[in-house]
Structure 1
Amino acid sequence: MQTKSILGEQEIQAMLQAATAKAHENNWQVAVAIVDDGGHLLGFSRLDGCAPVAAHIALEKAKSAALGRRETKGYEDMINGGRTAFVSAPLQGLLEGGVPVVVDGQVIGAVGVSGLAKELDAEVAKVAVAAIG
């Protein structure tokens, strides 16, 4: 039998706090979604002034990073590089800004951020992941 770490309430709150602190520090309006390894929502925050659609996009980025076990930037790069057939994959968050949470070599969840330029979305997501080590 294999065992793995899971994201608990303490880790989820630490990630949300780190991401929202980074956003507040820069006056960025973002939505942040945290999911488990199956893409199920564990934590969420949409800051004041953030567009409602960003909530949907952040969750889809998180789901895609968790289920695909990779940063969503990889999907966006594949599509932009000419592998356009990949848009028919059964994932919706194929834009940069989804980052998996990896512990002991296993993906245990992911963070998705939306509301900014794609590189900044990814930066906020990585700050969230770094908050738990």
Structure 2
Amino acid sequence: MPRSSTTLSLSDAKRMLEAGEAKASSIGIAYNIAVVDASGALVAFTRQDGALIGSIDLAIGKAITARLFDKRTSDLAKMAQPGAPLFGIEQSNGGKVVIFGGGLPVKVDNQIIGAVGTSAGSVEQDIAVAEAAAAAINQGVDS
């Protein structure tokens, strides 16, 4: 069925959370996973039993950051190092920008329709869980 919306729906977000939870379970770490729509507003969030409390805001912040800047948070982290072009970006938007890996925009037909953010493991694990969640949307994710 052709997609008629240019933003993630609740149904999309639920599929993404389920896929992210499955990946987190395969890693063996309880995760916090957040999905935002095209406007950057939270659509859905899950905190698996035992997931780190301190990672709740990080997961949500990564999703919002990925949508605010339409970039993977891991890419922003590289560009925000001292001497790099976006040094200090984490201080923007009221200091709520999160530049650890694990946030990424979600695209359909090359249009960003939302973003996902994950937090609880290493940066590499966070990225893997976010990618699994985003892959639940048929046309994939920003690379």
Among 86, 89, 93, the residue aligned to 1:86: 89
Using the TM superposition, give the Cα deviation of residue 26 of structure 1 relative to its aligned residue in structure 2, in angstroms.
Answer: 2.1
Using the TM superposition, give the Cα deviation of residue 4 of structure 1 relative to its aligned residue in structure 2, in angstroms.
Answer: 5.2
Using the TM superposition, give the Cα deviation of residue 29 of structure 1 relative to its aligned residue in structure 2, in angstroms.
Answer: 1.5
Counterpart residue number, 1:64: 65
Kindly report which structure 2 residues correspond to 1:87-126, keeping only aligned pairs within 5 A, or say none: 87-90=90-93, 91-126=96-131
- Are 2:107 and 2:113, in contact at CA under 8 Å, matched by a contact in 1? yes
Counterpart residue number, 2:141: none
2:29 is aligned with 1:24: no
- Are 2:91 and 2:97, in contact at CA under 8 Å, matched by a contact in 1? no
Using the TM superposition, give the Cα deviation of residue 132 of structure 1 relative to its aligned residue in structure 2, in angstroms.
Answer: 1.3
- Are 1:65 and 1:71, in contact at CA under 8 Å, matched by a contact in 2? yes
Could you tell which deviates more after superposition, 91-100 or 54-63? 91-100
The 3-state SS of whatever aligns with 1:28 is coil
**Partner Cα distance (1:99, 1:87) in 2:** 16
Identity across matched positions, percent: 34
> Match of 2:137, as an amino acid?
I
**Partner Cα distance (1:97, 1:108) in 2:** 17
Q: Structure 2: give runs of 5+ residues left out of the alignment.
A: 139-143
Could you tell which deviates more after superposition, 84-93 or 24-33? 84-93
**Partner Cα distance (2:88, 2:137) in 1:** 36
2:131 is aligned with 1:130: no
Q: Structure 1: give runs of 5+ residues left out of the alignment.
A: none
Q: TM-score, normalised by structure 1?
A: 0.90
